[in-house]
Chain A
Amino acid sequence: GIQVEQSPPDLILQEGANSTLRCNFSDSVNNLQWFHQNPWGQLINLFYIPSGTKQNGRLSATTVATERYSLLYISSSQTTDSGVYFCAVEALHTGTASKLTFGTGTRLQVTL
């Protein structure tokens, strides 16, 4: 099956710093989503981005489908950005179902 790798696994930032999270995937994809998992376990949708670039406030994402990677940018980080960031993909040849394969996540801690 498709493999999803995220880097770095852990990241500690001071409030106000910028960061880039990376997601590499091993096959063509129909769908790529970025999620933020808060300390209570809720997965919050950040971006649906199988290709191209999107921005939402301090967050932006870019997926280069031909090179099989996606980047999540966080600018001017805040303590509320802390948590685990997951990249999840749906492989192109996944049959009739749209199952997501998740990476292992990047654990971000933003300190004062």
Chain B
Amino acid sequence: DAGVTQSPTHLIKTRGQQVTLRCSPKSGHDTVSWYQQALGQGPQFIFQYYEEEERQRGNFPDRFSGHQFPNYSSELNVNALLLGDSALYLCASSLSSGVTPYEQYFGPGTRLTVT
């Protein structure tokens, strides 16, 4: 049973550039959430996708956008990168029904460095 996978593992970008991060959910899961984790802090919720639509958004600017595909995989796009966007980006998947609805499972993360 494949867990949550993310790509790439590491990424270095320059201020002002754009980046796309990818996530494949755990097998059977239909909901994908994205989190940003700055150094020394807990993860912060960016947004969640279900049925190819954004269901809820955290306190992040419109430079952060996403997409969910029919196979439930998801992308996170960040435009006009700032130095402060340097962080570990975590994808989590969950199932919207079942014994433990909304229990979230996390991928290994993408470490983004903006120079």
B112 to chain A, nearest CB (A): 12
Q: Given A41-B88, A98-B48, A98-B104, A104–B41 Cβ distance below 8 Å?
A: yes
For chain A, residues 82 to 105, give those with C-beta under 8 angstroms from any C-beta of chain B: 86, 88, 90, 94-105
Assign chain A's interface to a size class.
Answer: 20 to 34
Shortest Cβ distance from residue B40 to the other chain A in the assembled complex, whole angstroms = 9
Contacts known (A40-B108, A41-B88, A104-B41); A99 close to B56, Cβ less than 8 A: yes
Q: Mark B8-44, 1 if CB is under 8 A from A, else 0.
A: 0000000000000000000000010101010001111
Q: Is the CB of A35 within 8 A of B106?
A: yes
Residues 76-106 (chain B) with a chain A CB within 8 angstroms: 88, 90, 92, 94, 100-106
A98's contact among B88, B90, B94, B111, by CB below 8 Å, is which? Answer: B94
Bin chain B's interface residue count: 20 to 34
The yes or no answer to B66 lying at the interface (CB within 8 A) is no
Residues of A within 8 A of B (CB): 30-31, 33, 35, 40-43, 45, 48, 86, 88, 90, 94-105
Inter-chain contacts of B106 with A (CB < 8 A): 35, 42-43, 45
Q: Are A31 and B102 in contact (CB under 8 A)?
A: yes
B50 to chain A, nearest CB (A): 8
Residues of A within 8 Å of B43, CB to CB, are: 43, 86, 88, 100, 102
